[in-house]
Amino acid sequence: FVLAMSLWRQINPLNLFPPVRINIQIGTKL
Protein backbone atom coordinates (compact mmCIF):
# COMPACT_ATOMS: atom_id res chain seq x y z
CA PHE A 1 0.00 0.00 0.00
CA VAL A 2 2.80 2.40 0.91
CA LEU A 3 4.60 1.57 -2.33
CA ALA A 4 1.46 2.29 -4.34
CA MET A 5 1.11 5.68 -2.67
CA SER A 6 4.77 6.49 -3.33
CA LEU A 7 4.45 5.49 -6.99
CA TRP A 8 1.25 7.49 -7.39
CA ARG A 9 2.91 10.55 -5.84
CA GLN A 10 5.86 10.19 -8.19
CA ILE A 11 3.55 9.88 -11.20
CA ASN A 12 1.33 12.75 -9.99
CA PRO A 13 3.63 15.32 -8.34
CA LEU A 14 0.79 17.85 -8.36
CA ASN A 15 -1.24 15.51 -6.15
CA LEU A 16 -4.47 17.15 -7.33
CA PHE A 17 -6.56 14.00 -7.02
CA PRO A 18 -8.03 13.32 -3.56
CA PRO A 19 -6.95 10.25 -1.54
CA VAL A 20 -10.38 8.72 -2.16
CA ARG A 21 -9.60 8.51 -5.88
CA ILE A 22 -6.30 6.75 -5.11
CA ASN A 23 -8.16 4.26 -2.91
CA ILE A 24 -10.60 3.51 -5.74
CA GLN A 25 -7.72 3.03 -8.21
CA ILE A 26 -5.92 0.62 -5.87
CA GLY A 27 -9.17 -1.28 -5.26
CA THR A 28 -9.75 -1.61 -8.99
CA LYS A 29 -6.19 -2.87 -9.54
CA LEU A 30 -6.54 -5.42 -6.73
Q: What DSSP line would sit under 1-30, residue for residue? A: -HHHHHHHHHH-TT--S-HHHHHHHHHHH-
Look up the domain containing 10 and give its range: 1-30
Does residue 17 surpass a pLDDT of 60?
Answer: no
Convert the pLDDT of each residue in 4-14 to its tens digit: 767 766 766 55
* pLDDT for 13: 58
Rounded Cα–Cα distance for residues 30 and 12 (Å): 20
Report the number of distinct structural domains present in the chain. 1
> Of 2 and 19, which is predicted with more confidence?
2
